[in-house]
Structure 1
């Protein structure tokens, strides 16, 4: 208490000739006889740490084709998660991602951790065939793609996974894509009871639905337009299952 009265008295005497900065510096300087008790440093939450990291991130892109394979390979080693949950208004779909398709698994986990799938849709529904997600007509989706990067994932057919019912596979661009590389952003789930084996070695299967095929079947029954786009948006979100 004595220290604070002394400081206040000093400030009142010299306030006419001190600017705010120097007054603040004087007020914060402890005397040799008194040590102030420091408040414990509060541990930052995960959200606060993520917000700090976002401020440090470059404007983009985060991933580029020239460095894609080493970057995703390293990311996969550091992020071994292989189970995700896709949340929709129809319910949840749980998916296991395969480790023998390492680039596709690492890319999908990367997108989940960078919140890419927030406010994307199941944007294509072909009943008796597939339901496809990871795109939207919202400006936010294009902005996120620009920020993350414009790249293709090399096919990983050597793993030998087939397009059976419940297969989790990567969409791809049809034009000028002789290597059958995958789109990094869009996926589809085979809904057909008999599978979709004409897609084998055309698209990379990199996971399987472990729970929630009833949800996939419900999505497959919604009304769509001539382009197989649902008349009512089916928002999705994806989270990692710990």
Structure 2
């Protein structure tokens, strides 16, 4: 029976093609750091989040040291993201495989539920779970999300998270009555009945496992308008946001790439940091701290 339930969970995935506290006034008091990312294809402006202090401090330190200057966006994937920050990319030969370099340290994950992978999100790259179960971030490599616009059906419920919750519950609490409800639904009607029952039990499964299954309204709105890449949420630390120059991300993703997703023509970055009042940032770029 376990084999059939596992198959049903797989079918569930295949069936659907996949807050911070404080008032607005409090958030715009004091100074902040405006990030300028100059590239061969245009310029982006970004802010870094106070709620991810380790990532913010590290990024500012590296930028002020000139660490990022002349590094490549070495991994570019249309409809997904652009990635850079590998120091080995500065003088890399054409076609050389990149993505393993860094400053020699990692940063502990800083997940904040109100920050997610909408278009323009500045997020930390990291090693995969097999060698990095704590999801610690790379000390220097980061990516900027392009993603795509999703439909409400795709964002209404995270089917990957739903499947994960079912698997987690079966493994950690096999006697939970929810397991029997799901098993009975599969026995009665197969994959489709199982999928419907799983979606009906989403709230209870989320409560039993602590896994967020239904996407918050704020995320749904962003992913169905601006776009982004929901499967990255709660997997990589989002520590900033591009607030001007989203079109530059689109331009970079049009370049031709090799089988390792490295652009055939180098796309370099130059990053600078300017400390200015938050009120000036809001005045020029809008309500970026909401």
Whether the TM-score (by the shorter chain) exceeds 0.5 is yes
What's the offset of the Cα at 1:197? Answer: 1.1
What's the offset of the Cα at 1:207? Answer: 0.5
Question: What corresponds to 2:70 in structure 1?
Answer: 119
Q: Which moved more, 1:215-224 or 1:131-140?
A: 131-140
SS of 1:157's partner is: coil
Confirm or deny that 1:193 pairs with 2:148.
yes
Question: What corresponds to 1:154 in structure 2?
Answer: 108
Alpha carbons of 1:166 and 1:137: their partners in 2 closer, same or farther (altered >3 Å)? closer
Q: Which runs of 4+ in 1 moved over 4 A?
A: none
Q: Which structure 2 residue ranges, 5 or more long, are not aligned? A: 1-30, 93-97, 150-227, 276-290
Alpha carbons 2:71, 2:268 under 8 Å: kept: yes
Alpha carbons 1:82, 1:99 under 8 Å: kept: no
The 1-side partners of 2:242 and 2:143 are apart by 11
Question: What corresponds to 2:214 in structure 1?
Answer: none
Query: For each residue in 1:25-58, what CA deviation from the matched residue of structure 2 results, as whole angstroms up to 9, or x when unmatched?
Result: xxxxxxxxxxxxxxxxxxxxxxxxxxxxxxxxxx
The 1-side partners of 2:113 and 2:33 are apart by 16
Question: What corresponds to 1:57 in structure 2?
Answer: none
Q: Given the alignment, which residue of 37, 40, 47 partners 1:89?
A: 40
Q: Report the TM-score when normalising by structure 1.
A: 0.61
Mapping 1:98-137, distance limit 5 Å: 98-135=49-86, 136-137=88-89
Name the structure, 1 or 2, with higher relative contact order (CA <8 Å, separation 6+): 2
Coordinate RMSD, CA, aligned: 2.0
Question: What corresponds to 2:271 in structure 1?
Answer: 238
Mapping 1:185-224, distance limit 5 Å: 185-194=140-149, 195-224=228-257
Confirm or deny that 1:169 pairs with 2:120.
no
The 2-side partners of 1:114 and 1:137 are apart by 17
Mapping 1:32-111, distance limit 5 Å: 81-111=32-62
Question: What corresponds to 1:11 in structure 2?
Answer: none
Q: Which structure 1 residue ranges, 5 or more long, are not aligned? A: 1-79
Larger Rg: 1
The 2-side partners of 1:138 and 1:170 are apart by 19
Alpha carbons of 1:138 and 1:89: their partners in 2 closer, same or farther (altered >3 Å)? closer
Question: What corresponds to 1:179 in structure 2?
Answer: 134
The 2-side partners of 1:184 and 1:159 are apart by 22
What's the offset of the Cα at 1:241? Answer: 2.8
Alpha carbons of 1:210 and 1:96: their partners in 2 closer, same or farther (altered >3 Å)? same
Alpha carbons 2:72, 2:90 under 8 Å: kept: no
Alpha carbons 2:121, 2:242 under 8 Å: kept: yes
Question: What corresponds to 2:20 in structure 1?
Answer: none
Alpha carbons 1:131, 1:191 under 8 Å: kept: yes
Aligned residue pair count: 158
What's the offset of the Cα at 1:139? Answer: 5.4
What's the offset of the Cα at 1:160? Answer: 3.3
Query: For each residue in 1:119-139, what CA deviation from the matched residue of structure 2 results, as whole angstroms up to 9, or x when unmatched?
Result: 201111001110111124345
Alpha carbons of 1:153 and 1:216: their partners in 2 closer, same or farther (altered >3 Å)? same
